[in-house]
Amino acid sequence: MITYNENERVFKLDTPNTTYMIGIVDEENFVGHIYYGRKLEDTDASYLMRTGEPPFVPSRNNRERCSFYDCFPFEYPASGLGDYREGCIGIRTAGGHAGAVLSYVSHEIMAGKPGLEGLPATFGTEEECTTLKLLCEDRYVGMQVELLYTVFHDTDVITRSVRVTNTGTGHFYLTKVYSACIDMDNRDYDMVTLHGSWARERHIQRKTLGYGIQSVSSFRGESSHQDHPFLALVDKNTTQENGEIYAMNFVYSGNFRAQAEVTQFDYVRMTMGIHPENFCWKLESGESFQAPEVVMVYTDKGFDAMTAAFHRLYKKHLIRSEYRDRKRPILINNWEATYFDFNTEKLLSIAREASKLGIEMLVMDDGWFGRRNADDCALGDWKVNEEKINGGLKYLVDEVNKLGMKFGIWFEPEMISPDSDLYREHPDWAIAIPGRPGTESRQQFVLDLSRQEVVDCIYEKVASVLRSANIEYVKWDMNRQLTDIGSYGLPADRQGELYHRYVLAVYQMQDRLTKEFPHLLLENCSGGGARFDPGMLYFSPQIWCSDDADAIERLEIQEGTALLYPLSTMGAHVSDCPNHTVGRVTPFETRGIVALAGTFGYELDVTKIPQEDRDMIPGQVAMYHKYNDLVREGDYYRIASYSQNHKFDCWQVVSGDRKQSLVTFVQVLNRANFKSRRILLKGLDAGKRYNVSFVNDDNIEDKVYSGEMLMKAGLLVPNPWGDFRARLIFLDEA
């Protein structure tokens, strides 16, 4: 619900358990942030803006206007006129000047939620959400800024976005456009972020928030392996079950900055948006710029509640694919099985054996096109290599289909190899700084997708392949970051638009793809997990979580990912051993149990693995089919964290009706001369009784416990013998 108290000039935005307040103050209609926190019944808390204290408002004390700007809790702060904190919007006029401040003009409260032009965003019906449009202006610049807020009625989430319009007669440049800001008092917060690198993405990092600016960011052209577009400020005592959290997640797949600034007055300014590095957008008279969306969550009930809010929103109000609520086919990908060394018969030999074991889809990875026998050529030449795929693609697909299996294929549409027919024909289609040698990565360049002719050409190449055979799955990859930021297709004063135009083009291509092939299962990937973000989830219901599929490494990766994203979105496979990234040897059973917490599939040569492992696959397939509905649809809880205790990991999913639950326990390192571990379960119905079964250990007798007993007193989990061992525990209402 959203209301406006006209007498006090206060907007009140209510979710089921939280309140967000905005106030209009002074004759100049400054827009201030009042409150975000636990739900309030009162409709006015404007005293929290401290406008009754020095330096007061400008109409009362104009001689200290600069001081007012520097301490007022702006709802959407600009910069250059006296607010020395990080601003959300920066402009440069045609005369070269910077500086702006926004004043309220009007507002509209509406049922439902409008879409964002060219951008992914959450959605909801008129019954599911309410939206506030808050129109502000700087009349000296000739600029209007529309602040958009949406409240969802079924979860404690508020989304925000910003649209900037040039209402003047000349042009100006946007040098910064963030999407959200919260100004509030500092209460000795910790800062929680997700950090990593290739093969170890999204590890949870928690540190004390100190004075000054602390941020995470990417200006690599992607949301990145290294930092994630997520930021949370949490109370020192916040745990999984208790404590305050203010969280932001960016619905965007390119450059970002997420930042918290503790100021001289012990205020905190929390901001998120497009990274201003090398960003400059020219707005002609009448033109608008739409900034991406930020998802905000507040809770005083700890990380479990924050995670539940994000999961609920993304499952119901972001993912659009018809696979959102469907079991995904169990696939086998040939990458770690063959790399580039394959042909039709080799792929069919894998498919024949896989089909006997219950695997449902064969995915042909890199190496099927052009002269692509290594990773140094042919990107952009999306034409089947019939010397390798002898008989042609349709023959291969048809033969796989005859086995009762689906067929999928890998593309890297955004890239171009210097050694490719496409580059020799169109060298200017690569992103490059004219006159400077290009910076290669993986011996490839990035296509300039700011040019529509490039987008159209590449899309048609990809679509032509998909039209030629019964291809039901696409893995869309992106294996390098952007450098040499220059476009032969943009004028000099628009070169700063390249990063954002690139992301918009990726969205355009995937939107076209999913509309032309509405039944296609699309899985995004970027060197593994470099573009695992809400923007990609809008187009694909799952994203490859990391190129490191080692079950033990995946514990931290999947824990950090599941902090925000539903388990159904995490691409997870049983991979070869010794693991191709870290060389670790992990039991096949454990690899299957850890992969069950994601989309589930295989990344190995099923014709070469030990017979003992091969014999386990039908059981793992049956396990997936039995439990996937629960994993995909259930509520997720974190029980224990290997990243914190360095001994074992444990998580749980519970069905919406509280009748079933699945607990995954992974013993990373065994302990000598210790008793069983006691774990306290969550999310059960205290009044129900549950039959508790250790799925993969017939030596442990099934027993019946009350939900109250399991949550308050706990469940004893006997220590498995050995390291890297996992137990799967199923609870069913007795």
Active-site positions?
Answer: 477, 547
| Calpha distance 272→159 (Å, rounded) | 12
Give the containing element (helix H, strand E) for 473.
strand 473-476
Distance CA 446, CA 423 (A): 11
3-class SS at 302?
A: helix
Instruction: Put residue 373 in one of left, alpha, beta given phi > 0 → left and psi -120 to 50 → alpha.
Output: alpha
Please spell the DSSP secondary structure of 608-627, one letter per residue: TS-HHHHTTHHHHHHHHHHH
Report residue 379 as tokens: 């990107």
Concatenated DSSP letters of 145-170: EEEEEEEETTSSEEEEEEEEEE-SSS
The CA distances from residue 347 to 354, 601, 732, in Å, are 10, 16, 41
Q: Report how far Cα 264 is from the mean position of its chain's Cα atoms.
A: 33
Phi, psi at 289, each rounded to 5°: -125, 125
Cis peptide before 518 (omega within 30 of 0): no
Q: How far apart are CA 664 and CA 729, in angstroms?
A: 6
Q: Would you tell me how many other CB atoms lie within 10 Å of the CB of residue 227? A: 23
CA distances from residue 7 to 52, 107, 295 in whole angstroms, order as listed = 18, 15, 30
- 3-state SS, one letter per residue, for 28-68: CCEEEEEEEEECCCCCCCHHHHCCCCCCCCCCCCHHHHHHH
Rounded to 5°, angle at Cα 85 from 82 and 86: 115
**Residue 364 one-letter amino acid:** M
Residue that is written with structure tokens 């449902």 in the block: 360
